[in-house]
Structure 1
Amino acid sequence: MKKVSLCIFIPILNEENNLPLLVEKLVSLSVSASKIVLVIDPSKDRSLEVGKELERRFANVTVFYRESRPKGRGNAGKDAWIYCLDLKPDFILEMDADHSHDPKHIPEFLAAQKKHNADVVIGSRYTTGGREVRGFTRKLISWFAEKYLKVVLGVTFLTDPSSGYRLFTRESVEQFDPQSLTSSDHRITTEILFRVRRKRIVEIPIEFHDRKFGTTKLKWTVLVKSLVSPLIWRFRQRTD
């Protein structure tokens, strides 16, 4: 079996219109020995069929269909981390399927990791050179969430702690232990950051765009939980 240097996973739910262009962009990157894992939950559209078509077209694309697995973005992410770890890559990168994360930044993630010998590289909208292309209300919500999470998670050195566009070394993933993650929804992003906050983390500037097709899956209830959960994690840490 050919050695996998970089495993890229993409959680997918109702993204049939976004998948073809995204995968074509990923495949066209000059990143050697990469594996692209499409982590597809049962969808109302043709996400699975489109994913399988892409798997047939491209040798480094694999469909991981979560047909009978627990639902939720966090559960999908947990399964994806475990799946990618089994491939024993040097690095694992997570990104969204809706074109908010541009694949053009992936070589920059790898270059930053090498330059700084980083455990984690985070794509930031807010560091120098970063850019967020969204409406005012979404920007305001993001601004408040970032300020809050920086303090509560103890990562005041970061500019974009809620970013879901991130590169990890295999060793850092093994150490945060995806098998033990507890978040079933979008909170998995901050739960992982809380676990790796003392690792060597660097940020790179990225352009962040609103989704190309479809509607967001982030609900207000999940947003509120995402603000409360870090407080619980900090409290548990102090009482352990």
Structure 2
Amino acid sequence: MSDAIVIIPTYNEIENIEAIIRAVFSQKKDFHILVVDDNSPDKTAQKVKELQQEFKTSLFLLERDKKDGLGSAYIAGFKWSTEKKYEFIFEMDADFSHSPKDLERLYDACALDNADVSVGSRYVKGITVVNWPMSRILLSYGASWYVRLITRMKVKDSTAGFVCYKREVLETIDLDKIKFVGYAFQIEMKFKANKSGFRIVEIPVIFKDRIRGKSKMSGSIISEAIFGVISLKLKSIFIKY
């Protein structure tokens, strides 16, 4: 059995799902995959079930009744993965914006180099983003700067969604108290890991915008991040980690 599992949340990713699964399984390191599907109308889950006939012991599917946010999808995946006792648990998008070739670098940072959380970072060495409009780069980079200013975390890419967690981190954080669903979810997880004393390292990666399918970004997700960070900081004053 592998000690590492990659959680891939999906909603209408039929154009990407088979390719990303095969790309992860083609890496030298043996990774398992858990797809968390939010009842995709395009039958993403059905394609995963077909692929399970080929990858019987390494591909898993968690089906949810409705689209309920990225954060809650990852929380469901985290709980499933910790119950199965995987030691290293990954977040990764289905759309190839995160390269499967970088999975082993994130794994090594935790398994060999004593990190508790490793982040595939777009901003730790300049700005390494491809095919994004300048407006979105400024929004994302500005959000990360804003988070550092408010929280005093040293993480330069706090909204990154390409992450490896040691199981101990997810077992320490109270996952039932994670409140946010979009950008703010990624910030909240890193913030609580940091406040709990875990070591977070950033690994530089090249982030590419999706080629197929539609982005799930929305104005509500952005506003959640802006106001959620202030809420996180204020509440942390009264919480003992």
- TM (normalized to structure 2)? 0.92
Q: How far, CA to CA, are the matches of 2:122 and 2:73 in structure 1?
A: 24
Q: How far is 1:124 from its partner? A: 0.5
Partner of 1:100: 97
Q: Percent identity?
A: 28
Q: 1:27 to 1:12 in 2, by over 3 A?
A: same
Q: Once superposed, what is the RMSD of the aligned Cα atoms? A: 1.7
Quick one: which of 145, 155, 158 aligns to 1:158?
A: 155
| DSSP 3-state at the match of 2:24 | helix
Q: Distance in 2 between matches of 1:186 and 1:51?
A: 26
Q: How far apart are 1:184 and its partner, in Å? A: 3.9
Aligned twin of 1:143:
141
Aligned to 2:218: 219
User: 2:21 maps to which residue?
Assistant: 23
Q: Please say if residues 5 and 32 of structure 2, whose CA atoms lie closer than 8 Å, have aligned partners that are also in contact.
A: yes
Q: Which runs of 5+ in 2 are unaligned?
A: none
What letter corresponds to residue 69 of structure 2 in structure 1? G
In structure 1, what is the Cα distance between the partners aligned to 2:210 and 2:191?
Answer: 26
Looking at structure 2, the residues matched to 181 and 65 of structure 1 have their Cα atoms a distance apart, in angstroms, of: 21
The residue number in structure 1 matching 2:189 is 192
Contact 2:182 2:224 in 1 (8 A): no
1:75, CA displacement in angstroms? 1.4
Letter in 1 for 2:4: L
Separation of aligned partners in 2, 1:129 and 1:103: 21
Shift of 1:130: 6.4
Indicate if the aligned counterparts of 1:186 and 1:218 stay in contact, CA closer than 8 A: no
1:236 positional shift: 1.5
Q: Is the 8 A contact 1:129 1:205 kept in 2?
A: no
Does 2:69 align with 1:72?
A: yes
**Distance in 2 of aligned mates of 1:115 and 1:63:** 29
User: 1:30-88: per-residue Cα shift (whole Å, max 9, x none)?
Assistant: 113x32000001112121111111222213111111126x7221211111110111110
| Counterpart residue number, 1:209 | 208
- Deviating 4+ runs (over 3 angstroms): none
Is contact 1:122-1:163 (8 Å) kept?
yes
TM-score, normalised via structure 1 length: 0.92
- In the alignment of these two chains, the number of paired residues is 235
Q: What is the identity, as a one-letter code, of the residue corresponding to 2:35?
A: L
Matches of 2:17 and 2:168, distance apart in 1: 29
Among residues 165, 168, 175, which one is paired with 2:165 in the alignment?
168
1:44 alignment partner, one of 41, 45, 49: 41
